[in-house]
Amino acid sequence: MTADIDWVALTVFIFFFALVTVMGFFAARWKSGPVSEHLDEWGLGGRQFGTWITWFLVGGDFYTAYTVIAVPALVYAVGAYGFFALPYTVVVYPFVFAVMPLLWKVAHAKGHVTAADVVQGTYGSRGLELAVATTGIVATMPYIALQLIGMGVVIKAIGLTGELPIVAAFVILALYTYSSGLRAPALIAFVKDIMIYIVVLVAVVVVPAKLGGYGAVFSAAGDAFTAKGGATGLALKSPQMLAYASLALGSALAAFMYPHTLTGIFASKSADTIRKNAILLPAYTLLLGLIALLGYMAYAAHIKVASNNDVVPALFKELFPSWFAGFAFSAIAIGALVPAAVMSIGAANLFTRNIWKSYVNPDISHAGEASVAKIASLVVKVGALAFITFLPTQYALDLQLLGGLWILQTFPALVFGLFTRWFRAEGLLLGWAAGILWGSWTAWSNGLKPLATLSIGDTNYVFYVGLGALILNVAFAVVGTLAVGLISPRSVTVRS
Amino acid sequence: MWVLLLLPFVGLLWVPFYNFQDPALFGFPFFYWYQLAWVPITSILIWIVYRSRTPDDETR
């Protein structure tokens, strides 16, 4: 990478960054309530977001900046296999439609702010609450670090070097999240999403036009994969098929277990808001599918990059004038701010409600909860920043991968209780532990790859570790529940 | 009606249904346009289920 600064792009970038900074601080007064007096205000924006705000907010924090960088990078590197993000972000919505309104109703009726609150409310088990809360916090930290990496890639493409720009951007983000809470990313999400839509729509029309159409794009990519030896290509090889489907399903089941996506759910005004969003949010998936194809366009444009993550910035710099490249990079960088803010808020809510309130100060006031959460959000962000500044980037990537596997293990504890009270807390805790241990050990022993292999007879089945761990988790939860039922039969008083 | 929500899982997770390149559409190999087509189809299916269900009392 050259150290030459692209001044036009940088000016556009600074303009948009300044715009969202002002919006971030202004957001405290938007649809305002007493932001510092209640965690519902700071941490959930007052539980009042309607269909459109929720659409922008969840769209903004589910489809992260890192997605815009990493999905095309993966498609560029491995072809069809990298496209699993598409079926993943389609099948997630029938699930959201069927399950999340039920979760919202429980949370709304009982005043729950986090997933661990819901679990504690359902099972009355401090152990299970702590397991869900720590899993959420630990899985979110590397995800925030990833947003910083996404931002770093575009800042580097503009020509700025060193850690200072990213530290500055993050300090600003931390300050307005501190003062405005969830309202800041909700307001900024409008700008971010509109910018991303413009960038992608322009890119998917203009880029193929410059490169000779989609037919030419696909055939250039196909030729490149054949030249590389044909281990991957424009369609999946047969051993890849189960891996592709299980990654899509496992990721979809994990997606709304994360604190940042659940924060978007709990902040909605009504269960119907969530149902309408399950219908409307797939618009972002269409966008994601088109973004993924940028990876193939890079072959048609003869882009050569040192690191796969540079594919998208390099493509934009090659094909667009500086001002539009600057606009695109601002969109991606701002795209990192929204999820980073919501993630830190989600993690802070977990810390406040399920660790601080449960173990340190059970008598904490509503205003006290808000101030603990505000400070926790700062700590979480500083932690993520220190993580990518002092440790190799690869650690963040590896941990995020493990994070997806871990968060998926909270699925039975959080979701099953919405449909049945048959499971017992001890069984769910046992299942959680079994899933986490087997999943982590398997991923670790495969060199931190998300895939496991099962040999039955002569056939090898390659599948997503997280999904395998979830199946094990459920099996242990069933066995554990049966065992506990034998030792201590259920008491007559049923908690409701 | 709720069974409609299972269709995207069947259509997208059974990969042998669509793991080939022909017929192409607008230059997109089948693998790609088939999966992209599931995006609006899924929206419509969820909308049909949404319309058919009895609204719950707290809904506004």
Q: Which residues of A touch B20 (CB under 8 A)?
A: 235
Closest residue in chain A to residue B59, using alpha carbons only = A272
Q: Which fold has domain A7-395?
A: Sodium/glucose cotransporter (1.20.1730)
User: B46 and A94 in contact by Cβ < 8 A?
Assistant: yes
For A162-166, A236-240, B21-25, which range has the lowest pLDDT when averaged over its residues?
A: A162-166
Please check whether residue B60 lies inside any domain of the structure: no
User: B58 and A218 in contact by Cβ < 8 A?
Assistant: no
Q: Does A87 touch chain B (CB under 8 A)?
A: yes
Q: What is the per-residue burial (b if ≥16 Cβ within 10 Å, else e) of A380-410?
A: bbeebbebbeeeebeebbbbbbbbbbbbbbb
Please check whether residue B19 lies inside any domain of the structure: yes
Please check whether residue B58 lies inside any domain of the structure: no
Please check whether residue B13 lies inside any domain of the structure: yes
- A7-15 mean pLDDT: 83
- Give the pLDDT score at A405: 92
Task: Count Cβ–Cβ pairs < 8 Å, chain A vs chain B.
Answer: 111
- Measured in whole angstroms, the distance separating CA A392 from the mean position of its chain's CA atoms is 21
User: A249 and B15 in contact by Cβ < 8 A?
Assistant: no
A111 Cβ neighbours under 8 A, 6+ residues apart: A40
Q: Angle at the Cα of B50 (from A261 to A267), degrees rounded to 5?
A: 25
- Total domains, chain B: 1
Whether pLDDT at A492 is above 80? no
Domain range for residue B37? 2-52
- Give the pLDDT score at B60: 42
Q: Under an 8 Å CB criterion, which residues of B touch A?
A: 2, 5-6, 8-9, 12-16, 19-21, 24, 26-29, 31-32, 35-36, 38-40, 42-43, 45-47, 49-50, 55-56, 58-60
User: Which uninterrupted H or E stretch holds A323?
Assistant: helix A322-350
Q: Give me the residue from A87, A105, A279 closest to B35, CB to CB.
A: A87
Whether pLDDT at B58 is above 60? no
- Please answer whether residues A327 and A12 qualify as being in contact, where contact means their C-beta atoms are separated by less than 8 angstroms: yes
**pLDDT tier, A16 (very low <50, low <70, confident <90, very high otherwise):** confident
Render pLDDT for A42-95 as a digit per residue (tens, 0 to 9): 888 778 888 888 888 888 888 887 788 888 988 998 889 889 999 999 999 999
Please check whether residue B59 lies inside any domain of the structure: no
Please check whether residue B40 lies inside any domain of the structure: yes
For chain A, the domains span 7-395
Please check whether residue B9 lies inside any domain of the structure: yes
- Give the pLDDT score at A253: 94
Whether pLDDT at A438 is above 70? yes
**pLDDT tier, A171 (very low <50, low <70, confident <90, very high otherwise):** confident
Q: Which residues of A touch B42 (CB under 8 A)?
A: 90-91, 93-94, 282
**pLDDT tier, B52 (very low <50, low <70, confident <90, very high otherwise):** confident
Give the residue among A139, A142, A64, A152 at the shortest CA–CA distance from A336.
A64
Give the residue among A484, A470, A486 at the shortest CA–CA distance from A434.
A470
User: Rounded to two decimals, what is the model's pTM?
Assistant: 0.89
User: A218 and B28 in contact by Cβ < 8 A?
Assistant: yes
Closest residue in chain B to residue A97, using alpha carbons only = B46
Q: Say yes or no: ipTM exceeds 0.85.
A: yes
Render pLDDT for A446-479 as a digit per residue (tens, 0 to 9): 887 888 888 787 788 888 899 999 999 999 999 9
Stronger pLDDT, A65 or A374, i.e. the higher one: A374
Chain B nearest-CA distance from A285, in A, is 7
Distances (CA, A) of A153 to A57, A64, A147, A172, A275: 23, 14, 10, 19, 35
Whether pLDDT at A100 is above 90? yes
For A175-189, A202-216, A480-494, B10-24, which range has the lowest pLDDT when averaged over its residues?
A: A480-494
Q: Which of residues 252-291 of A touch B (CB under 8 A)?
A: 269-272, 275-276, 278-280, 282-283, 285-286, 289
- A264-277 mean pLDDT: 90
How many of the other CB atoms lie within 10 Å of CB of A65?
28
- Please answer whether residues A173 and A192 qualify as being in contact, where contact means their C-beta atoms are separated by less than 8 angstroms: no
